[in-house]
Every structure is written in structure tokens, then in C-alpha cells.
Amino acid sequence: MRQNLRWLDRILRWMFGVALLTWAIAGGPWWGFIGIYFLVTGSFGFCPGYYIMQINKS
């Protein structure tokens, strides 16, 4: 699996994922668990949506 995200995009995704997941765990809406997706894509540096649309930001 080839990385297709830059370091800044990875950091922002990771921070957004942590914020959403924390909000969901603290009693926020159920859709806040989408933060898991942002944590995973930020951690691995690979976005399936970018892959499908053939976008490479690395």
C-alpha cells in the first residue's frame, strides 16, 4: 500500500480524528465515531478516496 498523503494532511487528519472521537466518547453524536476513519488514514498515510480518484498528494 503506497502512501498518498503529505505529512501536513496526515497531521490534520489525525488531530481531527482525535477531536471527533473524543467528542463522540464524551457523549456527542454517534457519527463522531467517523473519527476512527481519520485516525486510520492519518496513521497509515493512505486515503482510499484519494486512491479511487487517483489523487496523489505525497
- Encode pLDDT of 22-45 as tens digits: 999 999 999 999 999 999 999 999
Q: Could you give the CA distance from residue 2 to residue 47 in angstroms, rounded to a whole number?
A: 10
Asked whether residue 19 is assigned to any structural domain, the reply reads yes
2 within a domain of the structure (yes/no): no
- Evaluate whether residue 1 is within a structural domain: no
Phi-psi region at 45: left, alpha or beta (left = phi > 0; alpha = psi -120 to 50): left
Domain annotation covers residue 57: no
What was the pLDDT predicted at 2? 84
List Cα–Cα distances, 33 to 2, 11, 14, 26, 56, in angstroms: 26, 18, 13, 11, 26
Residue 22, φ and ψ in degrees, nearest 5: -65, -40
Give the domain extent around 25.
7-52
Rounded to two decimals, what is the model's pTM?
Answer: 0.83
Residue percentage of the chain with pLDDT more than 90: 71
Average of per-residue pLDDT values in the chain: 92
In a domain, 21, yes or no: yes
Q: Does 58 have pLDDT greater than 80?
A: no
How many structural domains is the chain composed of? 1
